[in-house]
Structure 1
Amino acid sequence: MSAIVDYQQAFEGEQDIADAIPLPAEVEAWANAVLSHEGISDQEVTVRFTNEDESQSLNSEYRGKDKPTNVLSFPFEAPPGIEMNLLGDLVICAPVISREAKEQGKQVRDHYAHMTVHGVLHLLGYDHMEDAEAQEMESKEIAILAQLGIDNPYEI
């Protein structure tokens, strides 16, 4: 299974937050773990690390929520008759990830991994609006993260 990751580091801000942003190879490994788990190959995803202003602006425009959030997923929809291996875009807010990891007592790297896995699952069509959907998505996240050596993020 092969994920092609278009890695965009657009965060400018506190150095400790910038230093915690994962490397392209880590992001690619996390995306590959999702694809492998789902039996999917050769997909491209853009992962953009950004600040709270950009996250809040996108969250407000596309979800009607006027606050920054940890990860936003934008699935790609090809025009009819066009085949493309592009899953879509993830926008990950570095300050929110760092803050949540600290509040939840998690390693920042593990929280980035979780939010990347979570976002790629959204790009594949999984959701958590209904209880049954949430259970399915969370169980997939837990299994994928376990393969990466990361503890269940819902038990911390």
Structure 2
Amino acid sequence: MLDLLIEAADWSRIPLEQLAEKATRATLEHLGRPVEQSSISLMACDDDRIGILNATFREKPTPTNVLSWPSDELGAGEDGKTPRDPIPDFDGTYELGDIAIAYETCAREAAELGKSLEDHVTHLIVHGILHLLGYDHVRDRDAALMQALEVEILGKLGLDDPYRI
């Protein structure tokens, strides 16, 4: 289900593996996706590493909180519509893609938002998985759909709406 690579020692400050597995399971179950047959890679890195990735893949030479690389383009053609379902590989596995998350940016954002780092990281992992599944927030109705899903999934995990001010 989840392949976790921890590159930055700061991640040992929180139970990242448990948070990531819980967020992954909750997201996939909420969307009716097969949990055990789905494969996601999560790299827990630092700001330097994610800054390089952001520059390489998005031409933005600054750190960010989370990046996602879907295995397949599943996004809906029409704004606000549900993305296409992933298609399994020949062995029945759904290779969904890769996510990178940066410790310093996440910790700074959590402090600025007055949230626990664990809650903020859980939200960002859910957010990243939704990107892997074709959800996005560039167009208005797509953003509303993605945000509503995040709120629902996080609510099932006992977390507050991250968008409520």
After TM superposition, the score normalised by the length of structure 1 is 0.89
CA–CA separation in structure 1 for the residues paired with 2:52 and 2:112? 24
Asked whether the equivalents of residues 69 and 93 of structure 1 are also in contact (C-alpha less than 8 Å), the reply is yes
Q: Does 1:104 align with 2:113?
A: yes
CA–CA separation in structure 2 for the residues paired with 1:87 and 1:34? 13
* 1:147 corresponding residue in structure 2: 156
Give unmatched runs, 5+ long, in structure 1.
Answer: none
What amino acid does structure 1 have at the position aligned with 2:31?
Answer: E
Q: Does 1:6 align with 2:15?
A: no
CA–CA separation in structure 1 for the residues paired with 2:54 and 2:160? 28
Once the two structures are superposed, the pairs formed by residues 79-90 of structure 1 within 5 Å of their partners are 82-83=89-90, 84-90=93-99
Asked whether the equivalents of residues 70 and 97 of structure 2 are also in contact (C-alpha less than 8 Å), the reply is yes
Displacement of 1:64:
1.1
CA–CA separation in structure 2 for the residues paired with 1:31 and 1:51? 21
* 2:25 corresponding residue in structure 1: 32
CA–CA separation in structure 2 for the residues paired with 1:7 and 1:82? 21
Q: Does 1:76 align with 2:71?
A: yes
* 1:58 corresponding residue in structure 2: 53
CA–CA separation in structure 1 for the residues paired with 2:89 and 2:32? 22
SS of structure 2 residue aligned to 1:47: strand
SS of structure 2 residue aligned to 1:151: coil
CA–CA separation in structure 2 for the residues paired with 1:82 and 1:24? 26
Displacement of 1:85:
1.5
CA–CA separation in structure 1 for the residues paired with 2:130 and 2:89? 22
Displacement of 1:82:
4.8
**Count of aligned residue pairs for this structure pair:** 148
What amino acid does structure 2 have at the position aligned with 1:86?
Answer: E
| Runs of 4 or more above 4 Å deviation | none
1:23 paired residue among 9, 12, 16:
16
CA RMSD of aligned residues (A): 1.9
Asked whether the equivalents of residues 11 and 44 of structure 2 are also in contact (C-alpha less than 8 Å), the reply is no
Asked whether the equivalents of residues 20 and 108 of structure 1 are also in contact (C-alpha less than 8 Å), the reply is no
SS of structure 1 residue aligned to 2:49: helix
Structure of higher RCO (CA pairs closer than 8 Å, 6+ residues apart):
2
